[in-house]
Amino acid sequence: MIESFEALEEQINSCTACQLHESATHKVIMKGGKNPKVLFIGEAPGKNEDASGIPFCGRAGKILDDMIEDMDIQQNDWAVINTVKCRPPDNRRPRKGELAACRAFFEKQIDMLDPDVIILLGNTAEEAFLGNRQLQWGECREIDGKNVVKFYHPAALIYTKSRQPEQQEFIEKNSTLW
């Protein structure tokens, strides 16, 4: 049984349960506080994340950082994890088997971090967390005593800039959630 963040990190770093580990430069585990009020869940590491071992450190990470700042969440009050810990080739979506291989780590992270609010960044995070697609963008539901909200993935906001004001407005209107 894993009882510390260090032990969990060690298990993730030694994992060979799927083929993604074969091409990983770094396993990408998390960033942020270890007792967050808000947990952001992304899809998978990209090129910059694989190189650094830090989630959301590229262009999408800058958008996420700006969102966190706009949400006025203090530094230790948020954390970011991904559904899988290794970069899929060519930044493709993680496959079902890869999601399944990381599922125990993903669930343990959520359990250990124990946030009040979980923000699912896009469809893959939603499917990994809920088992299928159940939420609409911007919808908030209480699930197991936590407020769960679906946001656009920050990368989607890069490619569809017209969604940025919509997401910004949602953040402003729902600040009481976080």
Q: Please report the pLDDT score of residue 123 as a whole number.
A: 93
| pTM over the 0.85 mark | yes
d(C-alpha 1, C-alpha 34), whole Å: 19
Q: What is the pLDDT of residues 40-58, one digit of tens each?
A: 999 999 999 999 999 999 9
Tell how far CA 118 is from the center of its chain.
9
Q: What angle do CA 106, 107, 108 make, to 5 degrees?
A: 95
Could you tell me the domains of the chain?
Answer: 5-177 (3.40.470.10)
15: CB partners within 8 A, 6+ apart: 21, 27, 85, 101, 102, 105
Average pLDDT over residues 120-141: 91
**pLDDT at residue 139 greater than cutoff 90:** no
**Structure confidence at residue 1 as a pLDDT band (50, 70, 90):** low
Tokens of 77: 């009050």
Q: What is the pLDDT of residues 54-102, one digit of tens each?
A: 999 999 999 999 999 999 999 899 999 999 999 999 989 999 999 999 9
